[in-house]
Structure 1
Amino acid sequence: MLESRDEWIKKRAYAIWEEEGYPAGRDGIHWEQASSERIALEKSAGKEAKLGAKSKAKRKPTVAVAAVVDEPVGKPAVKRTSKKAVKAKV
Structure 2
Amino acid sequence: MLESRDEWIKKRAYAIWEEEGYPSGRDTVHWEQASSERIALEKKAGKKEKVDTKPKTDSKPKVKGQAAAVMAAAVAGATAKAATKRASKKTGDAKI
- TM-score (norm: length of structure 1): 0.64
Structure 2 counterpart of 1:13, which letter? A
Match in the other structure for 1:57: 56
Distance 1:15 1:59, change over 3 A: farther
Aligned to 1:4: 4
CA drift at 1:53: 1.2
Quote the offset at 1:61 in angstroms: 3.1
What corresponds to 1:46 in structure 2?
46
Compute the RMSD of aligned alpha carbons.
2.5
Give the counterpart letter for 1:46 in structure 2: G
Question: How many percent identity over aligned positions?
Answer: 67
More helix per residue = 2
Partner SS, residue 58 of structure 1: coil
Structure 1 position 63, deviation (Å): 7.6
Secondary structure of the corresponding residue to residue 43 of structure 1: helix
Query: Rg: which structure is higher?
Result: 1
- C-alpha distance 59-42 of structure 1, shift in aligned 2 (>3 A): farther
